[in-house]
Structure 1
Amino acid sequence: MTVPSAVIENLTGTWTIDPAHSQFGFAVRHAMVATVRGSFRSFEGALRLNGSKPSASSATVSINTDSIDTGNSDRDTHLRSPDFLNTETYPTITFTSTDIKPGDDPDTYVVTGELTIHGETRAVEMVVEFQGAAVDSFGNVRVGFAAFTSISRKDFGLTWNAPLETGGVLIGDKVKIDVDISAIRTS
């Protein structure tokens, strides 16, 4: 999909991420044979889009770590513990963009930013796809984006693991992150 420049230029403004229509998801290997997926249920963020100069755009997100949900309450309790996210000490995950440039496809961008998890900040690069813009049934102007990246959990101090009898470890190091954002224009 090639995004017409007139559409991009009309996106200039400030947008608030709509948590009811957005998702911050992740996936990680478990026991070397399966993939566990989850998401965070509580977050907020803003996009400041510059349609005539997309590289001047920015994004900020704050995620409540206590809102982790993998569909299993015992696992979620363990993920909130000091073995993993230590949500009492580190109540948020944050992302602040530092650079935006065109991607390989006409409807994609490469967004670089500072991701902070468990008190550790690392630069990460995400591929972001423009999903479209529309006016919803309540008259809100919305924009949608999907973003993808993967990180090493060890880079963020998340090192807890257990060896398996058959070799390998219980939890993989690579965490795939996928984000779907629906944001509402606020100015």
Structure 2
Amino acid sequence: MKVLPLLMLLILTGTIALAQYKPVDTRSTVEFTIRNFGFDVKGSFKGIQGLINFDPQTPGNSSVDITIDANTINTDNTLRDKHLKDEGYFNVRDYPNIHFLSAKVTADGKGGHYLVTGKLTIKGKSKDISIPFSAEQHQEEFLFKGSFKINRKDFGIGGTSTIANELEVQLNIYAVKA
């Protein structure tokens, strides 16, 4: 009889640590930097939605499912932004969202630092990527910070454009309990 209460306690404590969080779009940033004609071009996206199931004690139980509105691309140049939304780049009419779905989350050995691996889908093309990130808890919310590099050609973006193939993405995702 004593085994059942102990088992229930173990089950409950294991599920209490794992919590579901929703990104707060107005406070979060997804920014990128890419070289063009020898200059850094910076831009950003908004429209961040999805769910982050996060357990800092047992990161293997965690998962990430995030969507970003590709139509929100902003480089502070209206003409360039319109061009980036066209078929040769993000083709937002046919592919309105950028999506990341995790396959695995692990701790990297440093307190508060993790690695999420999963599929990034842009313009209908998926690629496995890994994103190192930190997780800072502030009461009932988390700030997830990370950066990673991707090759735009892996996603069919820009064709033979003069922009660099590699770009860096910086993430600052504020998330509150769902």
CA distance in structure 2 between the partners assigned to 1:129 and 1:54 by the alignment: 12
| TM-score (norm. length: structure 1) | 0.83
CA distance in structure 1 between the partners assigned to 2:109 and 2:23 by the alignment: 25
Deviation at 1:108, TM superposition (A): 1.0
Runs of 4+ in 1 over 4 A off after TM superposition: none
Partner SS, residue 182 of structure 1: strand
Instruction: Report the equivalent of 1:183.
Output: 175
Instruction: Report the equivalent of 2:89.
Output: 84
Alignment of 1:102-181 (within 5 A): 102-130=107-135, 132-135=136-139, 141-162=140-161, 170-181=162-173
Larger Rg: 2
Aligned length: 164
CA distance in structure 2 between the partners assigned to 1:10 and 1:145 by the alignment: 20
| TM-score (norm. length: structure 2) | 0.87
Deviation at 1:51, TM superposition (A): 3.8
Q: Which protein has the bigger helix share?
A: 2
User: Gaps spanning 5+ residues in structure 1: where?
Assistant: 1-8, 136-140, 163-169
Instruction: Report the equivalent of 2:26.
Output: 20
Counterpart amino acid of residue 86 in structure 1: N
Determine what percentage of the aligned residue pairs are the same residue: 26
> C-alpha deviations, 1:86-119, integer Å up to 9, x for none?
0001111100010111125322111101000011
Partner SS, residue 26 of structure 2: helix
